Homo-oligomer: A and B are copies of this chain.
Amino acid sequence: MLPLGQRVSQKITQVIKREMDATGAQEMLTPVLHPFELWKETNRNNEMGFELMKIADRREVEFVLGGTAEEMFVDVVRKYKLSYKDLPMNLYQFSLKFRDEIRARGGLLRVREFIMKDAYSFDVDEAAFQKSYEQIAVTYKNIFDKVGLSTKRVLADNGYIGGEYCHEYVVDSPVGESHYLYTEDGTYCAHTDVAEFERTKVNADETEKPFETFEQPQWVCTMEDNEKHYKLPKSHFLKNVVYKHRVTGEIIIAVLRGDLEVNKTKLEKALDATGQLENASDEDLHKLGTKTGYVHSWGHGDARYIGDVSLTAVKNFIGGQKEDKTDSRNVNYGRDFSCEKLADITMAKEGDTYKGKKLVAGRGIEVGNIFQLGYHYSHKMKGAEFTDKDGQLKPYYMGCYGIGVGRTLAAVVEIHHDDKGIIWPESVAPFQIHLVGLNLEDAAVKELAENTYKKLIGAGVEVLFDERTDVTAGEKFADADLIGIPLRAVVSKRTGDKIELKKRTEKTGELVALDSLLKPIQQA
Contact = CB atoms under 8 A, between A and B. Distances in A.
A55 B55 contact: yes
Nearest to A114: B31
A232 interface: no
Copy count, this protein chain: 2
Given A3-B26, A6-B27, A96 B58 contact: no
A6 B93 CA distance: 9
A100 B27 contact: no
A81 to B, nearest CB: 13
B28 A100 contact: no
B1 A28 contact: yes
A112 B32 contact: no
Nearest to A63: B53
B1 A33 contact: no
Interface string A46-62: 00000101110110000
A305 interface: no
Which of A6, A29, A33, A96 counts the most B-chain CB atoms under 10 A from its CB?
Answer: A29
29 contacts: A1-B28, A1-B29, A3-B26, A3-B27, A3-B91, A5-B28, A6-B27, A6-B28, A6-B29, A7-B27, A9-B29, A31-B113, A32-B32, A32-B96, A32-B113, A33-B98, A33-B112, A33-B113, A51-B58, A53-B55, A53-B57, A54-B55, A55-B55, A55-B65, A57-B100, A57-B112, A58-B102, A85-B470, A96-B96
Given A1-B28, A1-B29, A9-B29, 13 more contacts: A3-B26, A3-B28, A5-B28, A6-B27, A7-B27, A32-B96, A33-B113, A51-B58, A53-B55, A55-B65, A58-B100, A58-B102, A96-B96
Please give me the 7 A-B residue pairs with the lowest Cβ-Cβ distance, nearest first. A3-B26, A1-B29, A55-B55, A6-B28, A31-B113, A3-B28, A58-B100
